[in-house]
Structure 1
Amino acid sequence: MKMTTMGQCTGRRDGRLVRTRAAAFSVLLGLGAGFGSIPLPAVAQSYSFSSVEIQGAQRIEPATILSYAGIARGETVSAAELNDAYQRILGTGLFETVEIEPRGSTLVINVVEYPTVNRIAFEGNRRLGDEELAQIVQSQSRRVFNPRQAESDAQAISSAYAQQGRIAARVEPKVIRRSENRVDLVFEVFEGGVVEIERIGFVGNDAYSDRRLRRVLQTKQAGLLRRLIRSDTFVEDRIQFDRQLLNDFYASRGYVDFRITGVNAELSQERDGYFITFNVEEGQQFEFGQISVTSDLPEVDEALFRDAIKVRPGAVYSPSLVENDIARLERLAVQEGLNFVRVEPRVTRNDRDLSLDVEFQLTRGERVFVERIDIEGNTTTLDRVIRRQFDVVEGDPFNPRAIRQSAERIRALGFFSNVDVEAREGTSDQQVIVDVDVEEQPTGSLSLGGSYSTTNGFGAAVSFSERNFLGRGQALSFTVNTASSSTQYAFSFTEPAVLGRDTALGIDLSYRETDRLNSDFNTARGRIRPSLSFPVSERSTLSLRYTLGYSDITVPDESDVGGVITAEAEEGERYDSALGFTLAYDSRKTGLNPNAGILLEFGTDFGGLGGDSTYVETRVKAVAQTLVWNEEVTLRATLEGGVLNYADGNSRVIDRFQSSPSIMRGFEYGGIGPREIGDGVDDPLGGNMFAVARFEAEFPLGLPEEYGISGGLFYDVGSVWGLSDDSTSNVAAGNSIVSDDFSARHVIGFSVLWDSVIGPLRLNFSEALVKEDYDEDQSFDLTISTRF
């Protein structure tokens, strides 16, 4: 009997790797040459060997091969057991060929070992470096070469290129024979081109346009910046994620019957682009019907829990609003000392009036406790940064919903590319272990570049930021910005959880010098500001701060500066010390309408704590925004104002409110407000009061949305006014103060908004409808667009 297998891979002279061929073996039975042709009845044959001879082994010990075979000397084995021994030796993946041949009382095992991998190399790769590819392949140098593993590695490299949209990438493994039974394993890579997504379309959508739905998806169409934006490449996993995004989008807007019936991805005839079509069924939009609270627990006050519910009948139904109220009721139960109380929503559908009745049922849950929280994968981030996102600790009652919310808070940190939080059974039926598995991602950035401002001109900028400093969850940043007329240095540090509480401690340091910024005088300002911020309600935050400021005004020789600024410069350096607070209310955090929100801010600084002046500065701001016309158009209204009142000392030009495009568009920096006018003198002085109302609408321009360009219309009305008597008394002879009283300016304009690679830009083209004679208007300005 002789069993043999051909090599599963052989190296040709040209170095090509031949695919694995099936193993073949033959059994030769004969009683002699003279009886070879005489048919005999089938008889089970057995063997017994007094010795085993291993041939061909070089690196592997014969005893090891014999242990793989599992045959002992003197043991009687059948032909089937010999075949099993052959399969075991071959299955180790260490041998290119294996032969088992009985020779009387001796069993001969002849093997040809696979070579060892001398080195692994990559050729033809440019988009992915050798280091990236080396992390993908499982084959290793100084290990036994395995052709199956080499083929698997080639497929893994192809998949990595497919994730970048290069579905035509091909990878071919080759072996180059070396001496001493060694080979070099070379992966030849043909990267191919990027297959972009030329068009994303939808079928079956009536409530929302294709343009609006495309903004929901993570996948984007190829646009002008296709060389820089990778989200326009076809990635199958991303399409699956987009399906979930669409489901969440419609569910949050009351379309409970929405479903995606299919996604078609068609490759263009030239094989250089995909056309993706989402087939959807929207269904009807539902609203909240009757809202009620029930409980079979005698200790539960249903009226108390009913008053805590925020959703009201008639509002558009959203599962997230139901989840928010469930979490709110469960927190209330803990506050009332009711442990293990669970809130289960029961939804009743009313097709007649398209409403959903929601009954929040309070029940007694199982008595299960958190045994421990295990955290893995955080090589840099400290455990306590992750643990403080949990509302529970070891020994607390287990609440699955609270654990899910903690997982969302961990993801919201932005420190990890992947977060998995799961609960498993602990050491007893009444205990669970919460496993947290995270995968970290870069959290720092360093940027070197240039800047441009219509106020300061061109400049160079260097900035560094780290959102997870030393793995402690702290934010650190510093910036150096130099322009033709100003130089600025800034440093900030924030500890988000002081003493493990939901309280943020921050410190800001800044210093800025201006060289004749729109006027004939120079300024220098420095500031140190520690602050403390904490929530005071579900939607409100209070910030407390202390500010120590330094300021100075200098007037160069032969400068044409009026008497007001000259007198203020003669005062010399000033140090201000102030305590302040800001109370903010933001309905966007847990608002009932995902398409609307309100932001209210009120802040006051009280100066005079050892400083050179005593003052009170108050600022208020109110912003309201909503989306209309199937969320195609954004309407926004902003009201903002401020009052500066000095009880001891006098305000200076660098202390007073100055108009700017960020406050009121259509005018230059200091373009409106009190001015000292005279022979060769035109000094913007700023005002002790300002008020402005800004109304704007943003809408698509009909351009392909992959360009990231939209339009807007705006209307601003406001004024800067008010000087103290001490300031007006310093007017130089022959000069006068103009625009000291309130006088509303009106501006209309058109904006072009562009989501560029350097950030959202806003180009404003404006026209002043109402202005004063001495105002300095501005028909165009370029700014960084801010989001509400």
Structure 2
Amino acid sequence: MANGLHSVLRICATRKALRASVVFPAVAMTCVAVPVIAQAQQYSFSRVEIVGNERIEPATILSYARIARNTPVTAADLNAAYQRLTGSGLFESVSLTPRGNTLQITVQEYPTVNVINFEGNRIVKDAVLSKVIQTRSNRVFNPAEVEADAQRLVQAYADDGRMAARVTPKVIRRSGNRVDVAFEIKEGKVTSVERITFTGNRSFSDRRLRQVLATKQAGIFRTFVKNDTFNPNRVSVDRQKLIDFYRSRGYMDVDVRGVSSQMTRQRDAFYMTFNVVEGQKFHFNNVSTTSEIDGLDTSEYEKLARIRPGQTYSPQAIELAVTRMEQLGIKQGVQFLRVEPRVTQDQRTQAVNVDFALVRGPRVFVQRIDIEGNTATLDRVIRREFKTVEGDPYNPREVKNATDRVRALGFFKTVDVNTKQGSGPDQVVVDVNVEEQPTGSLGFGASYSKTDGVGFNASLDEKNFLGRGQYLGLSLGTTKDNNNSSFRFVEPRFLGRDVSFSFGAGYFTSSSATNQNFDTRRINLSPAFEFPVSERGRLQVRYKVGEDTLSNVSADSSQILKDEEATKGTQRYSGVGYTYSYDTSLEQIDPRFNWKFSLSQDFWGLGGDVTGGTTSAKIQGERKVFNEEVTLRASLEGGAVHATGGTTILQRYNGNQIRGFESYGIGPRDGSAPNNDALGGNYYWAGKVEAQFPIGLPEEYGITGGLFWDVGSVWGLDNTSGTSATVDDSMHIRSAVGVSIFWDSGIGPLRLNFSRAIKKEDYDRTQNFDLTLSTQF
């Protein structure tokens, strides 16, 4: 090198130092001083000098450079050393300078991050944004990581529906080789879904299909509705929802070929179009069961298919049949039984033939079930939803069903269940990963009615009390004349079994409200157990104890009420009861139809002052027609009450089962009393029919209309003798028709009823309007 180098070989690369308020991305500037002599020149260094390092040890720098002393080194070797040093991510600039027998390595370390600030964010708080980025205070500054953090923030805003959000990272130099990192944020407006349309849908309207999607069109309440914001991650979910919707209605070849999402010119909204290929509607034809296991009789399994020829094809019907058959195999001790539904199609007749093949599955066992992500919920709450335990034969269908049961709990935002190889080829490990979500609610509200005036209420509900999967509810309410409070606790898996234990308590008082000229106080306690008795049937058994008090009956009231106050003013009761319910929604095959039946009886006389009982029954059904645009509902119910020595008005029916009339607005009434008191009845029946349908408003408003017709009666008294006239307690039929407005509001499903009585008695008291929480079955 002393023989006349025309210039000193210098390989340098300098990344511009990030000065105050320098905007990323930083531009890399590389300079290479090339010698005049040939690049094949070799060097040998007896000494390596390191300059500029403050925190990083020289040995670490040498380990990256890999330049050995007294060993021939070419320019290519020096360049490779430079690439390794810059690629380490530790240095802002690096230069390698040969000086005779010495190689000088000059480095400038990246600074340390001092403070991280977010500027311009109003909607999303700093604490939330801090969890998105990976840059941290008191760590080495990495410009590539800061740029990546800016993109992560943009993506976080996009997931929240703000596609126009912009994030600009800035770096501010401080003394002591420190920098402050600031993210300047322009959040932008929420990017909503302005319109959702469909192509290729012949059987169902756009309106009906939009109801299936998780994404909703933007409406007048777009400020409060998060589902109308555009979220790319939700598109695949919506696509699958459409496919499941069609298949459950017989369209087994349906496909959603594509989803087009176009942004408006203003970049504040999207237009979405789903391309649907419906295919043909299929129905079941031949259903058979065969066995490939020696000695296994198929007769019992065949009965469990429960699929009729001509029935609309439904994957759910096949899944339920397979589940029933495999559960029977477990009861019979048939190890590793698998039921394979072999489905064949006849495109000409749109018929589906299904052969349930009983086969022997692979000998694989569950080694263990690992549960992660449940920060609040106890492991056993999740584990009890798995009928499979460690050591049992592995059944993938049962694992899938258990996954659905865990999701149905409503405790988790996401539930992912996967299997992986265990310690041996015949072992699997089931991984359950969940993400918790809020399960409690605290509510305050106000109400108004013509009868009770202004009222206030508060409620506390927790569906996952202390992470044990238990329900705890408390409610308090007060109006001008009424006060009520109630408590309810439910353990859904008593002693780890499919048995629900509940405990309820209530305290209610009322004083001389309209159409009720007396005071009441009611206290009750009721523990109960509920368990399944069939796939669709459940039975609840309960014990009831309480006290009813009738007092301050007005002097102008009926003599019947005065006598009841005098002889039965305070009555304690104690008894047992049951409710049997049969609900097709517990095993729903046809989503267009659902019906439910319930029968309840209570028997008093286990102590207390009352001996007797009550019986009530109700059957109700729902059917979707006109391509599921219109929902028809009908119900028929009735009840009877009996008490030895006669009932009191607190035990009798008050007629609120029929719309269009006030509470105690129908039924036996003492016309001879100055107050014209309603007395209630020992018997009632009510029939209801109604229709719910769209009224032309955009479906994103959540407002639909309805028509209803109620008919029924309340009648029957133990004592029909008034003060000066006989009370008429005959079964006079009442009837009312009305119009309803259904509103799926942010505070829950509300229903406004506008009604008119078309058949009534002269003394009945009608009610033309009421506002209630809408309940469906």
Q: CA deviation at 1:462?
A: 1.4
Residue 742 of structure 1: which of 724, 731, 738 is its match?
731
Deviations along 1:90-138, one digit per CA (max 9) or x if unpaired, are 1221211011122222221101111111111111101100101011111
Deviations along 1:511-537, one digit per CA (max 9) or x if unpaired, are 111122322211111111101001011
Q: CA deviation at 1:755?
A: 1.0
Deviations along 1:302-351, one digit per CA (max 9) or x if unpaired, are 11111111111111111121111111111111111111111111111111
The residue number in structure 2 matching 1:481 is 477
Q: Which amino acid aligns with 1:63?
A: A
The residue number in structure 2 matching 1:351 is 347
Find the aligned partners of 2:73 and 2:526 in 1 and give their Cα distance.
Answer: 87
Which deviates more from structure 2 when the two are superposed, residues 17-26 or residues 241-250? Answer: 17-26
Residue 628 of structure 2: which of 626, 631, 634 is its match?
631
The residue number in structure 2 matching 1:89 is 85
Q: Which amino acid aligns with 1:366?
A: P
| Secondary structure of 1:609's aligned partner | strand
The residue number in structure 2 matching 1:329 is 325
Find the aligned partners of 1:490 and 1:92 in 2 and give their Cα distance.
Answer: 66
Which deviates more from structure 2 when the two are superposed, residues 558-567 or residues 428-437? Answer: 558-567
Q: Which amino acid aligns with 2:739?
A: F
Aligned pairs (5 A) from 1:234-273: 234-273=230-269
The residue number in structure 2 matching 1:683 is 677
Is the 1:6–1:21 contact (alpha carbons within 8 Å) kept by the matching residues of 2? Answer: no
* Pairing 1:566–2:566 present: no
Q: CA deviation at 1:473?
A: 0.6
Aligned pairs (5 A) from 1:516-595: 516-518=512-514, 519-555=516-552, 560-570=556-566, 571-595=568-592
Residue 700 of structure 2: which of 681, 706, 711 is its match?
706
Q: Which amino acid aligns with 2:505?
A: L
The residue number in structure 1 matching 2:6 is none
Q: Percent identity?
A: 49
Residue 14 of structure 2: which of 6, 22, 36 is its match?
6
Find the aligned partners of 2:81 and 2:676 in 1 and give their Cα distance.
Answer: 101
Residue 207 of structure 2: which of 195, 204, 211 is its match?
211
Q: TM-score with structure 2 length normalisation? A: 0.96
Is the 1:454–1:782 contact (alpha carbons within 8 Å) kept by the matching residues of 2? Answer: no
The residue number in structure 1 matching 2:5 is none
Q: CA deviation at 1:75?
A: 4.3
Deviations along 1:284-319, one digit per CA (max 9) or x if unpaired, are 101111001111212211111111111111111111
Deviations along 1:564-600, one digit per CA (max 9) or x if unpaired, are 2222222332211010000000111213321101100
- Judged with a 3 Å threshold, the aligned counterparts in structure 2 of structure 1 residues 173 and 742 are, in CA distance, closer, same or farther, namely same
Structure 2: which 5+ runs fail to align? 1-8
Is the 1:10–1:18 contact (alpha carbons within 8 Å) kept by the matching residues of 2? Answer: no
Residue 30 of structure 2: which of 24, 44, 50 is its match?
24
The residue number in structure 2 matching 1:33 is none
- Judged with a 3 Å threshold, the aligned counterparts in structure 2 of structure 1 residues 762 and 57 are, in CA distance, closer, same or farther, namely same
Is the 1:613–1:650 contact (alpha carbons within 8 Å) kept by the matching residues of 2? Answer: no
Q: CA deviation at 1:224?
A: 1.6
* Pairing 1:447–2:436 present: no
* Pairing 1:765–2:754 present: yes
The residue number in structure 1 matching 2:689 is 695
Find the aligned partners of 1:592 and 1:417 in 2 and give their Cα distance.
Answer: 26
Equivalent residues, number: 767
Q: CA deviation at 1:27?
A: 5.2
The residue number in structure 2 matching 1:457 is 453
Find the aligned partners of 2:132 and 2:150 in 1 and give their Cα distance.
Answer: 9
Is the 1:747–1:767 contact (alpha carbons within 8 Å) kept by the matching residues of 2? Answer: yes
Q: Which amino acid aligns with 2:695?
A: L
Q: CA deviation at 1:183?
A: 1.2
Q: CA deviation at 1:724?
A: 0.6
Deviations along 1:361-388, one digit per CA (max 9) or x if unpaired, are 1111111111111111111111111110
Q: Which amino acid aligns with 2:715?
A: W
Find the aligned partners of 2:48 and 2:699 in 1 and give their Cα distance.
Answer: 75
The residue number in structure 2 matching 1:658 is 654
Q: CA deviation at 1:498?
A: 1.1
| Secondary structure of 1:678's aligned partner | coil
| Secondary structure of 2:663's aligned partner | coil
The residue number in structure 2 matching 1:777 is 766
Residue 720 of structure 1: which of 680, 693, 714 is its match?
714
Find the aligned partners of 1:249 and 1:454 in 2 and give their Cα distance.
Answer: 44
Which deviates more from structure 2 when the two are superposed, residues 275-284 or residues 601-610? Answer: 275-284
Aligned pairs (5 A) from 1:135-284: 135-284=131-280
Find the aligned partners of 1:453 and 1:544 in 2 and give their Cα distance.
Answer: 35
| Secondary structure of 2:353's aligned partner | strand
* Pairing 1:117–2:113 present: yes
Find the aligned partners of 1:46 and 1:27 in 2 and give their Cα distance.
Answer: 16
Q: Which amino acid aligns with 1:636?
A: R
Deviations along 1:525-564, one digit per CA (max 9) or x if unpaired, are 11111010010111100001111111111116x6532212
Find the aligned partners of 1:256 and 1:10 in 2 and give their Cα distance.
Answer: 63
Q: CA deviation at 1:23?
A: 5.4
Q: Which amino acid aligns with 1:495?
A: E
Find the aligned partners of 2:17 and 2:154 in 1 and give their Cα distance.
Answer: 23
Structure 1: which 5+ runs fail to align? 31-35
- Judged with a 3 Å threshold, the aligned counterparts in structure 2 of structure 1 residues 48 and 567 are, in CA distance, closer, same or farther, namely farther
Find the aligned partners of 2:676 and 2:65 in 1 and give their Cα distance.
Answer: 101
The residue number in structure 1 matching 2:4 is none
Q: Which amino acid aligns with 1:308?
A: L
Q: TM-score with structure 1 length normalisation? A: 0.95
Deviations along 1:766-787, one digit per CA (max 9) or x if unpaired, are 1212111111111221111111
Is the 2:248–2:590 contact (alpha carbons within 8 Å) kept by the matching residues of 1? Answer: no
The residue number in structure 2 matching 1:402 is 398
Is the 1:597–1:626 contact (alpha carbons within 8 Å) kept by the matching residues of 2? Answer: yes
Q: Report runs of 4+ in structure 1 exceeding 4 Å deviation.
A: none
| Secondary structure of 1:588's aligned partner | helix
Is the 1:136–1:157 contact (alpha carbons within 8 Å) kept by the matching residues of 2? Answer: yes
Find the aligned partners of 2:262 and 2:434 in 1 and give their Cα distance.
Answer: 36
Q: Which amino acid aligns with 2:773?
A: I
Deviations along 1:607-661, one digit per CA (max 9) or x if unpaired, are 01011110111110101111111111111110111110112x431111111111x
Which deviates more from structure 2 when the two are superposed, residues 744-753 or residues 558-567? Answer: 558-567
* Pairing 1:303–2:293 present: no
Find the aligned partners of 2:651 and 2:79 in 1 and give their Cα distance.
Answer: 94
What root-mean-square deviation, in Å, do the aligned CA atoms of Structure 1 and Structure 2 show?
1.6
